[in-house]
Structure 1
Amino acid sequence: MRQANRKRNTAETSIQLTLSLDDQKEPQIDTGVGFLDHMLILLAKHSRIYLNVQAKGDTYVDSHHTTEDIGIVLGLCLKEALSDKTGIERYGSAYVPMDESLGFAALDLSGRSYLVFDADFENPKLGDFDTELVEEFFQAVAFNAQMNLHLKVLYGKNTHHKIEALFKAFGRALRQAISINPEIQGINSTKGVL
């Protein structure tokens, strides 16, 4: 089983995260940030991975530290669970409509960290969640998983729908990229490593 379990404790947050790339059990998410819980459940469902995230953070300040630190730990767990990446597809992409909004994600599990984020959110808050933290979350995931990640909202009006489309698109692209293809011999790279 390709899985990982990590803890991260700082003066600002305490994160416990478990994931399994080959298990579709119901996700167990409790971050203390309702909107983030919703997005992580969607991510787990659409990537078809098991995700258990238990977090406590300084949400009396705002959701920034909690959101970013969960992204860091998720990225590290993805990197660990993928190990040497033998036989994986490596690349994934997906368009996902969410009512009037359309989101796109493309990623490469290349071992090189990069984020291109192209999305405007008219509504600065959803509940207690600052929408600018969506980019912070994905940057933390991409840099710690060492993936090249491109995210774009092509169009839309409703901020919730735009963000949901991005999380679902990311999940579906991730599922593609982590899938093992028996036709791939070794590592899917001319360099021989990812």
Structure 2
Amino acid sequence: MGDAAAQPPVSAPPKPFEEAAPSAPAQSEPLPKLTPVELRIFNRLAEHMDHFHNMFRRTWTTLHTACATDTRPPGMSIRAFLTTGLDFCAHLEAHHGIEEAHVFPVLARKMPAFRRELQLLSQHQEIHTGLEKMRAYLEECRRGERELRLGELKEVLDGFGSVLWTHLDEEVRELGAENMRRFWTVEEMRRMPF
């Protein structure tokens, strides 16, 4: 009996990421400064997300600037402009689909902002309402059922532009290193499946 007490406890192998138990809510105590390696680990998702969001921002700016100035970009045909707008809709919807199916459920285990009932997903819904209107308008123009009027398209874009830009910024901020480390450990960040 004395030998058993002297042996070190056997630790269980680490659980796969999917089985990790939710941690307690983040504390408001100041956290120690991150090392450069920790910063890279905790900020990885924000940087990756911002890369995609910057592509959406650039395309939005191209479309909106054309609508606001009532002039397509130099050298861009009506067909190319319509394709750019339709591609924007398709790519943003695919991006949100991946987030909702694969990214948000994992993050929601510990991060309230990624739970279904909260702001980021409600922003997705509002953005998608705007994308549906935009797609319908552009498809009608492409099929020749209506003439492309940049002022009309601007009204559609303005209908969801504010929530889109807010969302693109807030999502990256939520995934930033200082926020992520409040909810996740370095090891959990390394095991994240995306």
Higher relative contact order (CA 8 A, sep 6+): 2
Higher share of residues assigned strand: 1
Between Structure 1 and Structure 2, whose CA radius of gyration is higher? 2
Considering fraction of residues, name the structure with more helix.
2
| TM-score, with structure 2 as normaliser | 0.32
TM-score, normalised with respect to structure 1: 0.32
